[in-house]
Structure 1
Amino acid sequence: MIQRGVDRQAIFRETEDYVNFLGRLRDAARQFKVAIHAYVLMTNHIHLLATPSDAEGLARMMQWVGRYYVPYFNQKYGRVGTLWQGRYKAVVIDTERYFMLCSCYIDQNPVRGGITSTAGEYPWSSYLHHVGVKSDPLVTDHALYWALGNTPFDREAAYREMSEQALTSAQASQLMEATNKGWPLGSDKFKAGLEKQGNLRVRPARRGRPFKQLPDPAEEAVEPVVKK
Structure 2
Amino acid sequence: MPNHIHAICVPSRSDSLTRLFRELHSQFARSSNHARQCSGHLWQERFYSCVMDHQHNYQAMAYIEKNPVRAGLTSQAGDWEWSSASAHLGGIGPSVLDLEEWNEFYQPEEWRVVLEKSIHQEAWIRRFRYSSLRGYPLANEQFIEKLERLSGKALRPGKRGRQPGSQPQRLKSARAAAVELLGAGAGSA
- Normalising by the smaller structure, the TM-score range is 0.7 to 0.9
> Tell me, what secondary structure is at the counterpart of 2:95?
coil
Structure 2 partner of 1:189? 142
Q: Against the structure 1 CA distance between its residues 78 and 200, is the aligned structure 2 distance closer, same or farther, given a 3 Å change threshold?
A: farther
Q: Against the structure 1 CA distance between its residues 186 and 137, is the aligned structure 2 distance closer, same or farther, given a 3 Å change threshold?
A: same
Identity value in percent? 26
Matched, 1:121 2:82: no
Measure, in 2, the Cα distance between the counterparts of 1:58 and 1:138: 18
Matched, 1:75 2:28: no
> Tell me, what secondary structure is at the counterpart of 2:123?
helix
What is the letter of the counterpart of residue 105 of structure 2? L
Q: Against the structure 1 CA distance between its residues 213 and 61, is the aligned structure 2 distance closer, same or farther, given a 3 Å change threshold?
A: closer
Measure, in 1, the Cα distance between the counterparts of 2:64 and 2:167: 27
What is the letter of the counterpart of residue 162 of structure 1? V
Structure 1 partner of 2:182? none
Q: TM-score, normalized by length of structure 2?
A: 0.81
Residues 132-152 of structure 1 show CA distances to partners (whole Å, capped at 9, x for unaligned) of 211313323373x22235xxx
- Structure 2 gaps of 5+ residues are 179-185
RMSD over aligned Cα atoms = 2.4
Matched, 1:146 2:103: yes
Matched, 1:103 2:103: no
Q: TM-score, normalized by length of structure 1?
A: 0.69
> Tell me, what secondary structure is at the counterpart of 1:108?
helix
What is the letter of the counterpart of residue 52 of structure 2? I
Residues 66-109 of structure 1 show CA distances to partners (whole Å, capped at 9, x for unaligned) of 232111111222332122233211100121x2122111111111
What is the letter of the counterpart of residue 45 of structure 1? H
- What pairs up with 1:4-23 in 2 under 5 angstroms? none
Q: Greater strand percent: which structure? A: 1
Count of aligned pairs between the two proteins = 178
Measure, in 2, the Cα distance between the counterparts of 1:214 and 1:142: 38
Q: Greater helix percent: which structure? A: 2
Measure, in 2, the Cα distance between the counterparts of 1:116 and 1:217: 38
Residues 176-209 of structure 1 show CA distances to partners (whole Å, capped at 9, x for unaligned) of 111122111012332222122112331222247x
Q: Which of the numbers 49, 58, 63 marks the counterpart of 2:22?
A: 63
What is the letter of the counterpart of residue 108 of structure 1? K
Which structure has more RCO (C-alpha within 8 Å, separation ≥ 6)? 2
